[in-house]
Structure 1
Amino acid sequence: MTTQLDALKSHSLVVADTGDLDAIERYRPQDATTNPSLLLKAFDLPGYQTLIDNTLSEIPATDGDRQARVEHAVDRLAVAMGAEISKLVPGRVSTEVAARLSFDTPASIAKAHELIELYDKHGVGRDRVLIKLASTWEGIRAAEQLEKEDINCNLTLLFSDAQAQACFDAGVFLVSPFVGRVTDWYKKETGRDYMPEEDPGVQFVRGVCERVSRGGYDTVVMGASFRTIGQVLALAGCPRLTISPVLLEELDGMQGEVERQVTLDTSSGSRSTPLTEAEFRWGHNGDAMANDKLAEGIRRFDEDQRTLEARIAERLG
């Protein structure tokens, strides 16, 4: 019989939410996503040690700003890892702009240009890369400009309808609405456990898909941050799903069919007037969960980024 992972692939493009090369090779996803937390985990994987040593050995010693040298080393390493991942997936690799730039549009654009240039030096074209930005107003504005330069973006840490709509208005290539972190917030608030059909995270992502269909937008929706295979299967049919190796292994070990739960038809949509900055901020502010989880997500990515920088600084000597 067909595994549930293979059955799921008939409804959604499966993306590996990991930097683990062995896992990517094993489960054959279309794309792969990374972030500072995943890069930090990959930093300890045996398969990356030679790559890390070789990449860091090429970082020139300077008498200038040590922090700038370390940040450059992080970018070089993230791209080197992404280039290795690109050899194993037929699609794209998402590489994240540092969370500390989440509220700085010009700096985010400049960092994206640096990452694309580094990928080019590795022989990986921009058509194989997604620049990952937090779904702040400033991040969305950076993505809008980058999309005009044919640099496609993945807008992450997306928790509110306002964030989703602003991304669609900006012509962003892909958005990553989170499932598990949304549900985590509601479980903490209510003390309840949720079945997949009533799961707040699942319902949120389905709502984002409905918004895409209703407006006839070209933006790709990719469900992210899953806690259970029940959540994953409840979103079968969402254009893309980025899934951790643990859940990929569960799906690959189970047999059976998977029914489509999400259907998109963007052929006859009617678009609304683009949100102004004031409307975006007011709409996002009205969602307590989205406010909490966006702020927390940026802080957590920044903490992992700083930890990664400290580890790299130690190896740089």
Structure 2
Amino acid sequence: MMNKLEQLKTMTSVVADTGDIEAIKRYLPEDATTNPSLVYKAAKLEQYRPLIQEAAQWAQKQSGDTLENTLDMVSVKLGIEILKTVPGYVSTEVDARLSFDTIATINKARRLIALYEDEGVDRSRILIKIASTWEGIQAAKVLEEEGITCNLTLLFNIAQAIACAQANITLISPFVGRILDWYKKSEGIEHYPGPKDPGVISVSRIYQYFKTHGYNTIVMGASFRNIEEIECLAGCDKLTISPDLLNSLSEDSGKLTQVLSSSTKTDEAKWDILTESQFRWHLNEDAMATEKLAEGIRNFTKDLVSLEHLLTTEYLSALETA
């Protein structure tokens, strides 16, 4: 009898939402995603010290800002370690502080891809992860045309998703748990049954819209709070899941039923191409999406700053005094 994780893998591509190599080895996902918070968490683990020291030593020999070079190389080296374990993609995130700067996002993505390619990793294995702001989506559109595949994250509503699909983005990460968090707090409801979970409803709508209207953009549900959310999205293209929830799935031998499939259709009409003003209006009309997008960028930035402090105090300062 297969456990629920094994059953899920027969209907959905399972992705590990972690930078912890040991957890990835344990659950054998197809891909892995990282973000500044996960990179910061990984950087504090003892087993990654040699990797970070190597990145810092490399950065000192480069032109430009040593801290920025270190940060880029830490992300790339962690991605390379993950790629030794997963057969598919690893997602590497652009600095969240660039979320409202299209040109800077493009340049940073090109830089990260160049570092991967210098290390012998083909760009086809990398998803550049970018926040789903208007500026981020426009940057990703340019990058996709250059053969740099992208993962648009911090995605909370249908307008963000449709703008990504219209820009021919490879993959989007619509969030589930963070949407649930907002509605629990806003509406004062402690529990939503899985099918009524606002995050589940949002991702299901996006998935059905894409399949109905023939968009090739991959839908990868993200940010889960419980097993029920995952079960209600079984059959989605991809699901990125934390090690704790992967473990819970692996320990549950109950039957898992496929909920979503490519034949799942919606009556929702196809949207016209979104202009910038229309995109911003739809986002503004959605208080949850507006607040969670801004909060997500702030939190990723906070963890980036913490990571920079760690790199400076524990690694770069030691090299300067050596």
Separation in structure 1 between the aligned mates of residue 192 and residue 178 of structure 2, nearest angstrom: 13
Instruction: After TM superposition, give the deviation of residue 267 of structure 1 in Å.
Output: 11
The AA in structure 2 aligned to 1:253 is E
Instruction: After TM superposition, give the deviation of residue 266 of structure 1 in Å.
Output: 8.8
Task: Give the 3-state SS of the residue equivalent to 1:163 in structure 2.
Answer: helix
Q: CA RMSD in A?
A: 1.7
Separation in structure 2 between the aligned mates of residue 265 and residue 146 of structure 1, nearest angstrom: 30
Q: Check conservation: 1:216, 1:270, Cα contact below 8 A.
A: no
Which of 114, 117, 120 lines up with 1:123 in the alignment? 120
Q: Check conservation: 1:168, 1:219, Cα contact below 8 A.
A: yes
Counterpart of 2:320?
none
In the alignment, does 2:75 pair up with 1:72?
no
Which 4+ residue blocks in structure 1 deviate beyond 6 angstroms? 266-270
Query: Alignment identity in percent?
Result: 51
Q: Check conservation: 2:209, 2:265, Cα contact below 8 A.
A: no
Q: Check conservation: 2:208, 2:265, Cα contact below 8 A.
A: no
In the alignment, does 2:316 pair up with 1:316?
yes
Larger displacement relative to structure 2 (52-61 or 243-252): 52-61
Task: Map Cα deviations across residues 77-124 of structure 1 (whole Å, 9 max, x no partner).
Answer: 000000010010000000000010000000000000000001011211
Separation in structure 1 between the aligned mates of residue 217 and residue 106 of structure 2, nearest angstrom: 20
Counterpart of 1:183?
180
Counterpart of 1:32?
32
Q: Check conservation: 2:16, 2:24, Cα contact below 8 A.
A: yes
Q: Check conservation: 2:220, 2:238, Cα contact below 8 A.
A: yes
Counterpart of 1:21?
21
Structure 1, gaps ≥5 residues long: none
Task: Give the 3-state SS of the residue equivalent to 1:57 in structure 2.
Answer: helix
Which of 205, 210, 233 lines up with 1:235 in the alignment? 233
Separation in structure 1 between the aligned mates of residue 254 and residue 195 of structure 2, nearest angstrom: 19
Task: Map Cα deviations across residues 118-145 of structure 1 (whole Å, 9 max, x no partner).
Answer: 1011211100000000000000000000
Separation in structure 2 between the aligned mates of residue 54 and residue 61 of structure 1, nearest angstrom: 11
Separation in structure 1 between the aligned mates of residue 251 and residue 79 of structure 2, nearest angstrom: 27
Q: How many aligned residue pairs are there?
A: 314
Counterpart of 2:204?
206
In the alignment, does 2:66 pair up with 1:98?
no
Structure 1 residues 162-177: aligned runs within 5 Å: 162-177=159-174
CA 61–129 in structure 1, closer or farther in 2 if over 3 Å, else same: closer
The AA in structure 1 aligned to 2:240 is T
Q: TM-score, normalised by structure 2?
A: 0.94
Task: Give the 3-state SS of the residue equivalent to 2:106 in structure 1.
Answer: helix
